[in-house]
Structure formats: C-alpha cells, structure tokens
Structure 1
C-alpha cells in the first residue's frame, strides 16, 4: 500500500517537517513493514507558462516543429532560472494554441530519469527550456502532446511554481500489508495506525461522509445466494446511489491525479478516478455502472453452470458455480468483488451513474480471483476483509465527488441492504496479557489499548469484555487482543531474555557419536554433502537390495519432481548424482560422504493412513503411537564415495587411484569412532562389481557393504570406470558399540614378530583365514594383519598366497622364538582345518 503524505495529513496530524522516513518509523513501531519511498523525482525551476506565439517550421526529415515564444514570468520580472520573462522554446507537439497555459521546465530543472534540462541548440534555434507533457512530469502515460493546464481545470498566474500547483511536491510511503491487516489497504487504516504510534489526533473520513439513507423507490437490489460457502452468504451488505447528469469528460483535478499516481494507480478519467480514489481513501472498493445500460434491477447470485461473461479487460470468461455475480435482466454484469463487466462500463457517453459498494465473503472472492487469474485491487481488499459498516458512507462520498468534480446531481436516497452479523464480545481475563507477553501491564493500560483500536470495552469481575471494531475481522480471540495490547503499548517494552538451558542435558550418545563419525571422516579428507532424498523406482531397486529386484518403496503423494517420486532406500543414488554433477564441472578427484535417513517399508504394508489429531490440543500417547505406526522404518545410514585419485601426482610422487581399499578405510574409521570393529566378508550386490564387493558385519550381523560400482552402472552415470562406494547402517553400528570395552594392560616385555604365508583356494575370503589363524594362535597373538595377497608364478592358478604379519607378546615374560613359532603353527593348523590352507614353502 502506497500512502501519499498530503493525503495522510488530511486525517491525522503530521508535525511540520515530518519526512517519509519519520512516517515509516512510526508505522514500524505498530507492526507494519516499511517497503519504499516514492516521489515524482522532479527538481525546479518548473513554472506555469503562457504561449505568446509560435511559428511552424517544416524540417528536412519530414517533421514539423514549432518555434514558440513562451512567457514564463510576469512583465518586468526575472524568470525563475534568472533569464528573461519570455523564453524561446522548440516544441515538437502541435496540440496547443496561442494563449494556452502550459508547464515549462526551465534550464536547471531535472525531470524523472533523471533528465536534466539545459538551453541547447536544436533545429537552428537555441531552445531555452522545454514545454512538458504529462508523462515527462510523471503524472501519467500521455505523451501524444504537451500538458495544457486548461484540460485539468487549472488557471494560475504566469511564473507560478508548477510543482506545487500540480501536487508534484508530494511523497508516498509504501508499506507491506500482511494478510491479517486488510484495513491497512486504505488511507483511513494507515492514518489510524499512525495515530496509534504517535498519539496524533485521528479524523475518520467515514465519519465526515453522511451515509446513504434507504429511500422509497431506490434502485432495486436482491441478494439471492442459495449456495453459501461454509454457511457464509456471499454478499451481506449492498449499497447503491444514483448520480445523474455527470460529465465524463470533465478534467480530473491535478491533486487527485498526483495522489493516485503516487498510490500506484493511473488516471483513467474523472468517473473511474473518483471510484479508485474512494477505494484508496476508505478501503472500500467501489463500482460504477452506466445506469442507462442497465436492464431492470440488480440480483446478486451464484453463477450458473456454463455461464459466460466478458469482464472489463475484454476477456470472455466461463464462470464457475461458486462465483458470485451481479446480474440484471440480461444476465451477469459484474464478477462480484473482482471486476465489472464491459456492457455496463462507464465511458465518455455516460451521463447517469449507479454507484455500488458491497461487502463480499472473503473466501468466495479469493477463490474467484485465483480461479480466473484476476488479482484486482478490489479482490486484494475483499479477500482480506473489508469493513462491512462503511459501504453506505462510501457511496455517499463517491456521489459527493461526482457532484463536485463531474457536475452530477445525486439522488437524495438510495438502496441499502445491511445483513452483516454483529461481532460477539471476547473475554480477556485480568492478568492474561501480562502472563502471555511477560510484561506487567496495568489494567488501565490494557483498557486504554483496547479502546484505542476502536473496540467497545466493558470491565467485569472476570476481565474485559471486548467487542472488536467492524474493520478488524482478525480479532477473534483473547490471544489476538493481547497482541494488540503489546503492539500499541510498545514492542520495545518486551524484555529480551535468553532462556536458561536445563542442567544435565546435552547431546545424546547417538548424537555425539554421529557427530564424532562425521568429524573423523572430515578429518580424513572427505567432504560431507547433502543430497535430495527423492529417487526413481529403478534406483531404489538397484541400490535398495542386494539382488536388485522388486522391492517395497514409499511413494510421495505430492512429489516435487514427477520423475523421482519415491523416497530413497539407499544413500548411494544421491551420492552418485552429486559425483556426476561435480565431475561434469571439472572436479575429477572426489571423496564424499553423507549421513541421512533412508526409508525401508515392509512389503505389503500401507503407511500414512493414520488420522491426524486435532490441532487445538496436544496429542495423547495413543495418537502418537498411531502416527508412529503409520511411518515406515527410517534408519540413519552413512555412505561414502571415492573417484579419481586419493593421492595426487606430485614431484617424486606417482598418483594413487581410489579403490575398494580406500572405501573400506573410510567406513572402518567411522566404525571405530562409534566404538566397533568391522568384519569384512566377500559378497555380491547387483549394483557393484561382482569380484570387488564385501559385506560389512559387526558381531556376525550384517551392517552394510562396500565395493566398486559395476562398470555398467558407472558408465550410465557418466562416472569413471572405478568408483569405490560403501554404505553402513549407522544406527545399527552405534547400537552395537553400546557395550563395555575391556581395557587390557600394557606389557613391558618385548614382542616377537613372525610372518605366515598360507596357500588357499582363490574363492576363500581372506577374512575367514585370518579369523582361523587368530583363534588358533591363542592369547599370545597380539596383532594380525594381512600384508600380501599373491597370485602368480609358483602358486597354482586356482589358489592364492596370503601373507600375514603376526605379533606375539606375553604379559609376564619375554617370549622365546620357539613359543612364537608354536603359536603361529597352531594358527596355521586351525586355518588348514577350516579352509584347507597350507603353509607356503
């Protein structure tokens, strides 16, 4: 809403020297949001001039210019720019005559743009200024000719300051009107808010306009709403007034044009300008009908199925049965509360006007405006709620202005239907405002604040009974009344107190370990990313199960992307998409990880069917249990992805490509941060390389997998041939680590180290061999590590040679070589029993 200051000053006192910024600051104090300041961006000298004479001079380019002599100051006086009283000016327009008063921008003036004016030589003359058009002054869009003051009904002495004369020295403040403050879409509403903020006296424009009185024989109006929405009748108030003998070609006063322009509305002729002016002034949209084009009386009803109607913008629209329409004997003549019709539009031939102001159901208007894509100024106000008590005063104000400015004569009476229900009293208990806001308000402060907003306040033993004013439909309960108390007494009085955190709280064990896992991976050089949880069905089938077949999935009812309507069962599709995007932008070496929820519905189970509890009360345990049962399991997973080089090429250093071992290193480090050790067992998964895939276990239970993407999967996603990935059920890993850790003492005796090479069939996992060696070697074995996996000359093609580094230590003595060898051979023997392994010669 844009509010010209001169207009605001008519209804609330502005201290001399008040700037637009001062007004905005005051409005901000009562909760309105400042947006901008608008001016005409003019700088004088700009004066009233009189055309004394002109000579038309055809030019070689086919254009004819006028070399004009224009008086810009009274005889014997110096012009405002310091020059002679008569200036020679070149003008290309031809719509003026000798003796016309025009607006002259003298050298030194600046027009909107900015466009500075100076004396300059053109068309063989020195043009000492410029005769301005309405558009050049910022008054309108007319640029066909210069502005003649007679067309505005203005006559003033030559040399008069035209900026002040035309109201171009005004400014407007723009505020953002929130949906609950519809009354602020008017000068009346903003003036009242400014009075609240400053204590200045408020003069209600509605009180200054005598409301129309119903008259016998007034224009016939019937409200016939047989299909109310939500029980609300579409129109509860309908007021009309007839103005006869208007002159639609009469000039709109310059002050009105200037105010409308600053408010963001262009001048469209005196009759339409008046209706727009009163809409901005009162906040009550007005519609004017050409009375002579009406056929019979007016009936307000819902549209019929398939009914069609042409609106003022010239578009024919097919109406919906919920649309409210204003009709006469031939059918719809207006889309109620949104836009009028072309057949009864006021125009240059209009002589008699039916002025209408109504109150419409906000829900109906909002739906109609959106259905027909007609966000009109009227609809913007009606859908937020218009004061139902001002329609009669508004039509009287329009009638008065049409009489004053367009030469019309208003009928003594009119028609008025007023069926708006009264407001019920709201009880505000004593002390409730202080309790809710946290400020000790006195009862007198509360009473005065509620009275100031226009409410009828009655003090009772239980509290204050408040009947909200008609212009505040947003005040529906005691909490809203408390908000008004806090707003008017001052938000700045509300103390800023930081809540004290209750003692003994902090991160849970799970939260702490998740943070620890992320820190460890980041410390290892990985980059954490966050991917969208939406995938297509094929991605879920490929990564959501080991086999890659059909699997239960959760489908989103209102998916953001129709091509990816399912919730992920694995984090890898998102990581792959992140990797693909980064690779396409030149990042060839990637080390990524993500932690997030996956969604694992059970086969044949329906989710999301629980009924949501009412919002007015806290849900009970049964409600929460039902809601929880309607949600699929959502464990938190960890996934990593590596591609390119993990060690970059440098002087003296060959590059090292990422592979399965690096992915295993990442998830092993993550598991250790959660307090567990991973067991790695060879496995197969549909989306991974068949010979380079491992299952990850804790205590014999699967908790994830690692491997390299299948080459076909990598190729289809524009990734390198080798992409190492791993995924862990992080919740399961953290839960497995929730057990006491037995600490062993440090031995002061030296260790004995030996190597053990075993030949075993190629299809036997090294982890099984290692486990057998560890168990067979007994308590003396302190550490075991696989250091070589050899396949080549000297070893059968169907076999492989695994070399383990063993470290033995006793807690109470120094081991002999024989004791260490005996333990090593015991381990080899058990490995031979379980896997057929033999010691390599």
Structure 2
C-alpha cells in the first residue's frame, strides 16, 4: 500500500513531521517498508538561466553555456543537449551533486579542452521520466536559484506500508488517517459524502440472477448513468498522485476509479454505456464463456466465477477486472458507474484460478466496507461531474448493503491479562471510539459495536489488540515468565547428552552426518566382527543384503563413501552416531560415534590443491578426530593409552586401540584393511575411527583437580633437540613420558620430530629425534642450568626406557 504525505493530509489535520508519521505508522502496526523522499534526492538541483549559449570551438554537437545559478557570477557549462539555447530556464547541478540516474557524484571537468563547472540536467537524469532528448525546459517565471524539487512540487514523500491481510480498512488512505488520528497524531477532517440527486430515471435495468444459496456472492449491486460527459486527461494533481504510487494515468473516468480505490479502499468500475447491449445481469459464468479483459488477455470462465453480463455475454469479471469491449475511452460520452459488494472467498478463488492480481481483487478478497458502497458511488459521481461534466441519473440498486450489527462483550481486565498493559477504562474507551467503535459501559465490562469497515474484529482478543497497538506495545514492561512448578527438570541422560555433543563436534571438524541402515549383509557383518552365528540375523529381512544387525557403523559408512566415489565425489568425510549390535541381549546394544575420511578429505582441507602439494588421508587424521571428540565429550585423556594394533578390519600396522587399561577399551582408529575394502568393492585409502560412547568413563560429580590457571611468562623459551637410540620395538611414547618426567616445571612440551633406521644405527635399534621446550618461570636459565637439565633428561630416558644418547 503506497501513499504520499500530501494525500494523507487531505484526510488528516496534522503538523507532524515526516519522521513522526513514519514512526507512528510502524508503532501502531502499519509497518513502513519503504520511504522515498524525492526532495531529499533532488535537494541540490537548482533552477538556472542560460544567459548565453555558443557553439563549442572543438565539437559540432556541444555548446558552451554561461549559466546564471542565482549565486553570484555566472558559471560556464558545456552541454550536448540539442535544446540548450540562450534564454532557456532549466535545472542546474553544481560540482559535488549526486546524479541519481547515473549514480555518480558530479565533478569539475574539461570537455574537449573547455572547462565545465556543472551540468544542465534532463528529466531522465533526475529519474523523473524516460526523456533523454534534451534538458528540462521551465517556464519564464521560474525563480532563478530556487530548489527545483520544491518549486516543481516534487517534495511529496511516498510512504509504502507492508499491510497485513487482516487490515483491509487500511487499504485506503482514509483508513490510515483514521488510525493516525486515533494515535494522537492529528484530527480526522474528511467531511461526509453528499448525495447527488438524479436528474432522470435510470434507463438500464439491473438484475441479480442467483439462487437462494448463492445470494451471498453479490449482496449488493448499484448502477448509475452519467450522460453527456466529456472524457479526457484528469487534472494534473490527480495524475501526479497516481504516478507517485506507481499507477499510470489513463483518462478522467478510469483515473477516478483508481483514485477512490486507494483513497477510500472502494473499488468501482465504469462502463461505456453505449457499448453495453441491453440490461445488465449479475450471475455465475456459464460453461464455455470467455472474457477479453482490460489487460488484453482472454480468460476462460467457469461456473465458480461471477460476471456482469449484458445481452451479448460477460462484460466484466466481478470484483477482479473489467472487459475491454465496454471500457471507457476518450470518445465515451455516456458512462455507467458501478459499485458492488462481492463474496471475498469467491473473489480470491477466481483471482487465483485465473492468475489475475488487481487492486480491486486485493481489496475485495480481504473485505471492503459495506456501508461505504453507496457513498463511494456518490463520491465517484461527484468527481465525474466535476471533471467531465454531464448529468447523473437516479441510482438503480439491487440487493442491500445492510449488515447485521456485530456487538462484543468486552471485559476491561482483558487488556491487562493478555498484554500486561494497564490501560484505564476511560483511555480504552477513548481509543476504541477514535477508531470508530461504539462503546457502552456495562459494569466491569463494555458492550462494543464493531464498525462496518473492520471485518477482522471477531472477539475480545481483537479489541485488546486495537487498544494495545494504539496505547503502544513499546510501553509493555519487560518481565520474566514465572517457572511453573509442573515444568520438569532436564531429563537427558549422560549418554543422550554425549550423543548430541558428538554430532556437533564431528560436524564442526568438517565431517558430514550420514544415517545408514541398521541392517547389513552377512558378509559385511562377518568382515566387521559379527555374523558368525545367527543370533543377530533377521528372521524376515526386507532384502538379501540387509540380513544381519550391524556390529559396527563402518559397513554403512564405507558403502556410502564408495557410492559417492562412483558418482564422481571421491573425497568424502562422513560420520554417524547410532546403535551397534554386539549381542542379542540389552547389554550387547551399544552407542557408537564413528567417522571416516576417504581420498583427500583432510581435516584442515589440505587435500587436492592446484599447487600439486597433496596427500591422502591417513591414520593420524582420524586419530586427531577421535581425540578431538573425546576432548569435546569431557573425557580426561591423561590416562588414555594408545596401543598399536586394532580389530581385524583395520590395517595391522596403521591402526591403534584406545583404552584406559586392558579391560577398558573405548574404541580404535586406523586405516581400513585392503582385504576388507576389496570385499566391499570400495577403493581406498579410507581411514576411520569408532568410539563406543557407552564405554566412556563418566565424569566425576566433584572434580578432584582444578584446571590449571594460565601462566604466560615474559622470559624467552629455550628449545633443545636430542637424538636417542631405542630398541626398535620400544614405543616412542614411552620415551616422551620419560623426558617429560625429568622436570615437569620447566619442560612444557616434548615432541618427536624424526625417526630413523638404517646406516649408522645398530641392528635392532632406531634413532628417535626429540624436541624439548623449556620455559623459565622466574629468571633466565644459564648455560650451566641448561646443561644440568639436559643431563637429567638423558639420565631419565636411559633409566626408564633404556635409551642412549646417539653419538
């Protein structure tokens, strides 16, 4: 819904600024979606006088103009418009002015060797029209130096409201003004509509041809003839208003109906009386009938649609669009003005079925004010006589505009109960009265008569909304909701919480969740540690390849990765959190969190790369996934043991088991065995991990160790490298723990940077390079202290692992 500020002030006596109007509209529920203020956009454009215009010395089509801008000495402007001439008054923009159509800020320029200190503007450059043929020509009395937008009457802001479907009354500017007046922004000033006395009897008969059950389709149809009119362009003020809201002026008769559609939310239609054959009948359309509408399209009609027909057939689609045959043109001398009430549901059905969206349909399907149907006809008649002359007939009326009075019993306490707003009886009465309701006190309640233009008011809550939106939703005090005694405390178990946390953690590491079947083939079950007996075989499988309960989540994930690879997506990272079945009883059902990476789907995204530096996924990638998952789940990893080797479906030399002891295995990770991949017909490499969430230790109710506080030393850390000779079968992790134990206060990090076997290393031994980071706390370490600590590191390593410092 669009309107201009001046149009609004036709109905509202107010001194409020544009900002106050916009703020109030949004506050009372008529949300302003867009505001276009041409005056703000054109504030720097001035009226100027071309004192002299001479040919450009270096260009045939350019002219050098001396322009009086009303601000001191004339300025020189180079102009290429064909109508630039001496004595012309036009629109001037100085350097620094933003040109809307070109979306540039004008600067000083030199055109073909001649300096130009501004620009003379066309209407297209100001986005006022599509006229590119020349610069704007103004009358001789245009004041030099005046702001063009103000002088031309372009300082009328356009407000666009995002109208909710229930507010059909606000589909007219008069209804919007009524709301603003109720909100205290001014006074509603529109006088009552005068009745036009007919000068002769209505010659055309009108009939409503409906059964008793169909009378609701057209409760009212009224018609008036105005003869002797002279159609032509409508007044400039009316054309300007229609253009401002995006409508194209056509002629006076059509413009009047468009004007009243937006001004009073009262759609009307005009017929060229001389093109109507015989009397008019309002009826259902008949099978096979068609209508060539005003939009130039032909629509096929059916019996669900209502038409206005003459002796030749349909002339108009009721409440939606008129027909082209009886449309008014400049030659029209006799006009039939029609007003009607239509069934909103039928109008909506017709519009949707035909795919027709018009301003009339928009209002009729939401419900128009039945009490204004006949006054709207009188107002249209008045404007037709004023703009086009002629003589009006009596009004032919079929049906009735009378509707049953809707009265609601309204407890004053309802406003407080539903919104928390404490609005007094007097203030509530005043608000409802200003909105057009009739309020009669009845003790602690009130009897409220609903006005005819508010079809959306059906119950007490609707009245509360009216009071609250005018009183101000922003005045409702913020208050926390009480916690009812009946609301239960959180009931998720530790396992359920860990399942949720596991999904978030793995997704955060770039893995995509998959949901696979709980059933696998017997071959797959056997490949992953199950399927040896028939305890977990299905009695009636849905498919031969879904015969056994899965002993692991890996068969489904590996198969999914293979299907992705076969379809051109070789690099995948998948995870699943779900049940696995290791036995037929309840204890044999476990919850596992499993993930895999295939191809180049690395955690850090350093897989396939244009530089050619790439590597496939490996055991350490999924090890990082598994440890990150344990950390997210709050599992303390201080006592976690990583034991080389894993289940039979993992590569024996590239896998490990996670445990807190021989009897507390929590999972495993590694690369899948080539034999298993071959059995599943999937190409590798594939690395995977599986953590049994049921096997994870529960966190202590009261932690016995507090998290160490962060200590940032101002002293420079020291790094020392050591190369130790170890037995070939000795885990490097034992060496790392031994080195860390040499001095836990100074040694902050120990890492392996090299493992070497070969020439220079004795048979059965390996060389392990270890980097040790020392962080002084109180003072800088001396060389003697560093050497002493190095000696201690070598001693501890030899004592606990048998390691010797390599020579």
Both structures adopt the same fold (TM-score exceeding 0.5): yes
Report the counterpart of residue 4 of structure 2 in structure 1. 4
Secondary structure of the corresponding residue to residue 375 of structure 1: coil
Report the counterpart of residue 466 of structure 2 in structure 1. 484
Task: Check 1:526–1:46 CA distance in 2 against 1; reply closer, same or farther (3 A cut).
Answer: closer
Report the counterpart of residue 408 of structure 1 in structure 2. 389
Match of 2:425 among 443, 454, 457: 443
Task: Check 1:22–1:55 CA distance in 2 against 1; reply closer, same or farther (3 A cut).
Answer: same
* 1:30-45 correspondence to structure 2 within 5 Å: 30-40=28-38, 41-43=41-43, 45=45
Residues in 2 aligned to 1:545 and 1:273: alpha-carbon distance in whole angstroms: 80
With the length of structure 1 as denominator, give the TM-score of the two structures. 0.59
Secondary structure of the corresponding residue to residue 188 of structure 2: coil
Shift of 1:467: 1.6
Report the counterpart of residue 141 of structure 2 in structure 1. 157
Shift of 1:352: 2.5
Secondary structure of the corresponding residue to residue 492 of structure 2: helix
* 1:237-636 correspondence to structure 2 within 5 Å: 237-250=220-233, 252-405=234-387, 407-417=388-398, 418-461=400-443, 463-502=445-484, 507-510=489-492, 512-519=494-501, 527=509, 550=542, 588=571, 590=573, 592-594=575-577
Residues in 2 aligned to 1:313 and 1:712: alpha-carbon distance in whole angstroms: 68
Shift of 1:437: 2.3
Residues in 1 aligned to 2:356 and 2:512: alpha-carbon distance in whole angstroms: 40
- 8 Å CA contact retained: 2:109, 2:115: no
Residue range with higher mean Cα deviation, 496-505 or 298-307: 496-505
- 8 Å CA contact retained: 1:403, 1:409: yes
Match of 1:21 among 14, 19, 22: 19
* 1:736-815 correspondence to structure 2 within 5 Å: none
Shift of 1:341: 1.1
Shift of 1:332: 1.1
With the length of structure 2 as denominator, give the TM-score of the two structures. 0.62
Task: Check 1:174–1:329 CA distance in 2 against 1; reply closer, same or farther (3 A cut).
Answer: same
Task: Check 1:714–1:179 CA distance in 2 against 1; reply closer, same or farther (3 A cut).
Answer: farther
Count of paired positions: 618
1:305-333: CA deviations, max 9, x gaps? 23211111111111132122121111111
Residues in 1 aligned to 2:113 and 2:225: alpha-carbon distance in whole angstroms: 54
Task: Check 1:440–1:53 CA distance in 2 against 1; reply closer, same or farther (3 A cut).
Answer: closer
What are the ranges of 5 or more consecutive residues in structure 2 without an aligned counterpart?
A: 526-535, 544-552, 580-588, 608-614, 636-646, 650-668, 699-807
- 8 Å CA contact retained: 1:196, 1:488: yes
Secondary structure of the corresponding residue to residue 496 of structure 1: coil
Shift of 1:163: 3.5
Report the counterpart of residue 597 of structure 2 in structure 1. 643
Shift of 1:643: 2.5
Report the counterpart of residue 606 of structure 1 in structure 2. none
Shift of 1:6: 0.8
Report the counterpart of residue 698 of structure 1 in structure 2. none
* 1:68-87 correspondence to structure 2 within 5 Å: 80=70
Secondary structure of the corresponding residue to residue 106 of structure 1: strand
- 8 Å CA contact retained: 1:526, 1:593: no
Residues in 2 aligned to 1:329 and 1:446: alpha-carbon distance in whole angstroms: 55
Residues in 2 aligned to 1:654 and 1:138: alpha-carbon distance in whole angstroms: 59
Task: Check 1:310–1:141 CA distance in 2 against 1; reply closer, same or farther (3 A cut).
Answer: farther
Report the counterpart of residue 221 of structure 1 in structure 2. 206
- 8 Å CA contact retained: 1:403, 1:410: yes
What are the ranges of 5 or more consecutive residues in structure 1 without an aligned counterpart?
A: 73-77, 150-154, 552-569, 597-634, 674-681, 685-705, 739-841
- 8 Å CA contact retained: 1:212, 1:393: no
Residues in 1 aligned to 2:280 and 2:113: alpha-carbon distance in whole angstroms: 60
Residues in 1 aligned to 2:318 and 2:297: alpha-carbon distance in whole angstroms: 16
Residues in 1 aligned to 2:226 and 2:397: alpha-carbon distance in whole angstroms: 16
- 8 Å CA contact retained: 1:457, 1:466: yes
Residues in 2 aligned to 1:636 and 1:473: alpha-carbon distance in whole angstroms: 60
Residues in 2 aligned to 1:259 and 1:329: alpha-carbon distance in whole angstroms: 38
Secondary structure of the corresponding residue to residue 390 of structure 1: helix
- 8 Å CA contact retained: 1:214, 1:416: no
Shift of 1:233: 1.5
Report the counterpart of residue 688 of structure 1 in structure 2. none
Report the counterpart of residue 800 of structure 1 in structure 2. none
Q: Cα RMSD (Å) of the superposition?
A: 5.9
Task: Check 1:440–1:88 CA distance in 2 against 1; reply closer, same or farther (3 A cut).
Answer: closer
Residues in 1 aligned to 2:386 and 2:75: alpha-carbon distance in whole angstroms: 36
